[in-house]
Amino acid sequence: MKYRSLFSRRFRSINIDSYNKYNSTYAPRYEESLMDIKIRMAKTRKKVTIYTDGSCLGNPGPGGWGAVLIYGEHIKEVHGPLRDTTNNRSELKAVIEAIKALTKPCHIDIYTDSNYICSTMNKGWKMSKNVDLWDEVAIARTQGNHTIQYTWVKAHAGTEHNERANYLAQTDASTIAETLKQERISNEFNLRERL
């Protein structure tokens, strides 16, 4: 009973007029819906265009991935080798690493010559293979709070940045293939010396 009376006294001491005046002055004039928030965020996001490509020698075999990121007049290239991969895994790795290279939420237009990626993302193909990499794509997108649009481009059709991404991927694939060849030769030589 004692606590109840204390509780009710607190509410009696609040001046409702001053409370309403404070809220109307400092609070937003309307409540934003979730759609309003998404629209506002979409307008403030930077627009980035990405061209990706993957390469694999042997399929499966050594490979590489490459991506060209474009924001306004700024261009950044990211690429890397893969020791044992397939062509589709190389293509996915290029998308993952390109998305991870972005530090702020962006609206991303990804251009790829991989029908596998575009059809899976745009047409809802089943992600039965390479599930680990598809999970990485989803994690990279959600952690970066990005919106992504995928567009297919024809391979080797003279699209400047797609050709550059292809060059980066093939160069890394050739480099890792040569490294693996040298390792194999070295291992065979060491094995012969032991015998």
- Using an 8 Å Cβ cutoff, are 67 and 51 in contact? yes
Residue 8 lies in a domain: no
pLDDT value of residue 11: 45
Residue 102 lies in a domain: yes
State the residue range of the domain holding 107: 46-194
The terminus-to-terminus CA distance of the chain in angstroms comes to: 94
Residue 32 lies in a domain: no
How many domains does the chain fold into?
1
Distance (Å, rounded) from C-alpha 63 to C-alpha 98?
A: 17
> Quick count: other Cβ atoms within 10 Å of Cβ 126?
6
pLDDT value of residue 10: 45
Residue 10 lies in a domain: no
Residue 34 lies in a domain: no
- Using an 8 Å Cβ cutoff, are 92 and 130 in contact? yes
Q: What are the distances in angstroms from CA 14 to CA 7, 20, 23, 135?
A: 12, 11, 14, 53
- Using an 8 Å Cβ cutoff, are 67 and 91 in contact? no
Q: Across-strand partners of 151?
A: 111
- Using an 8 Å Cβ cutoff, are 85 and 61 in contact? yes
pLDDT value of residue 17: 52
pLDDT value of residue 27: 47
pLDDT digit of tens for each residue in the chain (195 aa)?
A: 444 444 444 444 444 455 455 444 444 545 667 777 666 666 677 899 999 999 999 888 999 999 999 999 999 999 999 999 999 999 999 999 999 999 888 899 999 999 999 999 988 888 888 999 999 999 988 888 888 999 999 988 888 999 999 999 999 999 998 998 888 887 776 766 666
* CATH code of the domain covering residue 112: 3.30.420.10
The DSSP string of 112-168 is ES-HHHHHHHHS-----SSHHHHHHHHHHHHHHT-EEEEEE--TTS--HHHHHHHHH
- pTM of the predicted model, to two decimals? 0.74
Residue 40 lies in a domain: no
Report angle CA 127, 54, 174 to the nearest 5 degrees.
140
pLDDT value of residue 30: 55
